[in-house]
Amino acid sequence: MQAPQTTSLDPQSPEEWAALRQQAHGMLDDILDYVQALGQGPVWTSAPSEVREQFFKGMPQDGSSLEVTHAAFKRDIMPYAIGNAHPGFMGWVQGGGTPAGLVAEMLAAGLNANVGGRDQMPVEVERQITRWMADLFKFPASASGLFVTGTSLANLIAVWVAKNKALGHETRRRGLRDEQVQLVAYTSAGAHACVKKAMDLAGIGTQYLRVIAMNERYEIDCAALRQQIQQDRAQGLSPFFLAGTAGTVDVGAIDDLNQLADIAQEQNLWFHIDGAFGALAVLAPQIAPRLAGIERADSIAFDFHKWLQVQYDAGFILVRDAQLHYDSFAAAAGYLRREHRGMAANSPWPCDFGPDLSRGFRALKTWFTIQVYGAKRLGGVIQQTCDLAQYLRSKIELHPELELMAPVSLNIVCFRYRSSQADQADVLTARLVVALQESGIAAPSTNVLPQGLAIRAAIVNHRTNANNIDALVEATLRFGKEISVELGL
């Protein structure tokens, strides 16, 4: 047979390589310009229909060029991102990303490592971060860890490992239907919705997640928790899993982690902590004492892409008992055979600790972020966002038109513009938040609290400063007044 004619997708001559370099350098400069100018434009702009229409075109059979495609990115995509990198962004809980993370992503893309396993240094980077996290949370050095998309998946992994511990690993083969016991899990009404989703995805069913009431500080009510566990045991059910929250998504409350650890110990429950953003507050010396008890957890889920400012996505699960973690996911396959030498050495592999086989090099942008800025400075950013939240609280308390709606525990402030008619309060709040977002001045989101709908400002981004808080308050007062008039209040 004649040798086949092939071409790669790389440039084919030194001249083509030179042109690529020039274009690529220009693209890097452009995105750095964008980052440098963040805060000058609006937080967010909704894409007009002409732009959206571009994305209904069919798949191109013939390519154009990097230059043309980059121009389309600049025209149709870049101006219409959600704006979480912008200092005025305060919606949900989202990190801002950093210049170091930006270039690290570029390096990771060049390497194109598949960090499912094998004998390669990218795996060691992930292991080093696991050891750093074990140390940070005072877990044993033998603890296991894994990068995942985000805390949603990390929480699912925790439920999965806890389920296998409770039922024995034979349950992986047997399936839940043939189990003699009915597992029950516990969390608070302030827990993130993904805890419920995890119970669904794990096949246990959301009806077996007991959602325990909160106290006036929005922390789980431990007395009610104990009572519910007793009641479930009396009915012959098998409590197995307790998820505390360090930094609730609604108001930023931290459950009493030591008390939860005591209950978990007494009741023989897996003690998991959803610390999606809050766990890494252990890096801020003034906040860290409030997380006491976190070191007693069986597993902690958290995101580097929130308070640590690492580029999306970079979630993490830390598990105290690495053997249990491994036994919950490891699966033998002929083509994944391990060796003591050669590329298939270095077992166990990251793929043995989670559902994914092929995995990107999320650890690199996290490693760069921690190497470049250091734990102290990153902890300082966490502290400064909490200081800004207190500054916002103080401004709200100064203005009689504004009403604080929940205690400000960390970096989340829930408030509203007062309505003269109680039944119009939520309409006013909803319209006010849309007006703020559409103005591009500041972008909070909303939250449903017992008293009603709140404007919820979560200060996560390292770029946010006091001017952004002033602008938010000023715009809230202005739009609040305008919308009140429109509503006849």
Ligand X SMILES: *Cc1c(COP(=O)(O)O)cnc(C)c1O
Binding site for ligand X (CB under 6 A): 93, 150-152, 192, 194, 245, 247, 249, 274, 276-277, 303, 315
Query: Which residue lies nearer to ligand X by CB, 282 or 402?
Result: 282
Residue nearest to ligand X (CB): 150
Query: Which residue lies nearer to ligand X by CB, 212 or 475?
Result: 212
The nearest distance, CB 253 to ligand X, in angstroms, is 10
User: Do residues 211 and 191 lie in contact, with contact meaning Cβ atoms separated by under 8 Å?
Assistant: yes
The nearest distance, CB 466 to ligand X, in angstroms, is 24
The nearest distance, CB 204 to ligand X, in angstroms, is 18
The nearest distance, CB 147 to ligand X, in angstroms, is 12
147 closest CA partner among 301, 1, 27? 301
Residue with tokens 């598949």: 114
Query: Which residue lies nearer to ligand X by CB, 84 or 144?
Result: 84
The nearest distance, CB 213 to ligand X, in angstroms, is 18
Could you give the maximum distance between any two Cα atoms of the chain, in Å? 86
The nearest distance, CB 56 to ligand X, in angstroms, is 28
Residue 359, class by beta-carbon neighbours within 10 Å (0-12 exposed, 13-18 middle, 19+ buried)?
A: buried
The nearest distance, CB 152 to ligand X, in angstroms, is 3
Residue 284, class by beta-carbon neighbours within 10 Å (0-12 exposed, 13-18 middle, 19+ buried)?
A: buried
The Cα–Cα gap between 438 and 448 comes to 21
Query: Which residue lies nearer to ligand X by CB, 219 or 274?
Result: 274
Strands 412-417, 238-245: pairing is unpaired
What is the rounded end-to-end Cα distance, in angstroms, of the chain?
85
Ranges of H-type helices in 236-339 = 257-267, 322-329
Query: Which residue lies nearer to ligand X by CB, 245 or 366?
Result: 245
Query: Which amino acid is located at 125 in the chain?
Result: V
Query: Which residue lies nearer to ligand X by CB, 117 or 252?
Result: 252
The Cα–Cα gap between 180 and 408 comes to 45
The nearest distance, CB 176 to ligand X, in angstroms, is 24
For the packed helices 193-201 and 151-167, what is the interaxial angle rounded to 10 degrees?
50
The Cα–Cα gap between 255 and 248 comes to 8
Ranges of H-type helices in 94-221 = 99-111, 121-136, 151-167, 171-174, 193-201
Count the neighbouring beta carbons within 10 Å of the beta carbon of residue 488: 8
Query: Which residue lies nearer to ligand X by CB, 194 or 310?
Result: 194
Query: Which residue lies nearer to ligand X by CB, 84 or 152?
Result: 152
* Helix%, strand%, coil% for the chain, nearest 5: 50, 15, 35
Query: Which residue lies nearer to ligand X by CB, 276 or 378?
Result: 276
Give me 360's structure tokens. 């990107």
The nearest distance, CB 247 to ligand X, in angstroms, is 6
Query: Which residue lies nearer to ligand X by CB, 108 or 243?
Result: 243
The Cα–Cα gap between 268 and 187 comes to 15
The Cα–Cα gap between 85 and 401 comes to 30
The nearest distance, CB 192 to ligand X, in angstroms, is 3
The nearest distance, CB 201 to ligand X, in angstroms, is 13
Query: Which residue lies nearer to ligand X by CB, 253 or 378?
Result: 253
Planar angle of CA 97, 303, 436, nearest 5 degrees: 55
The Cα–Cα gap between 69 and 46 comes to 21
**DSSP secondary-structure letter at 411?**
S
Count the neighbouring beta carbons within 10 Å of the beta carbon of residue 457: 31
The Cα–Cα gap between 300 and 293 comes to 12
The nearest distance, CB 372 to ligand X, in angstroms, is 22
Count the neighbouring beta carbons within 10 Å of the beta carbon of residue 38: 18
The nearest distance, CB 392 to ligand X, in angstroms, is 19
Residue with tokens 């360090």: 246
92 closest CA partner among 188, 243, 187, 193? 193
Query: Which residue lies nearer to ligand X by CB, 192 or 272?
Result: 192
Query: Which residue lies nearer to ligand X by CB, 192 or 416?
Result: 192
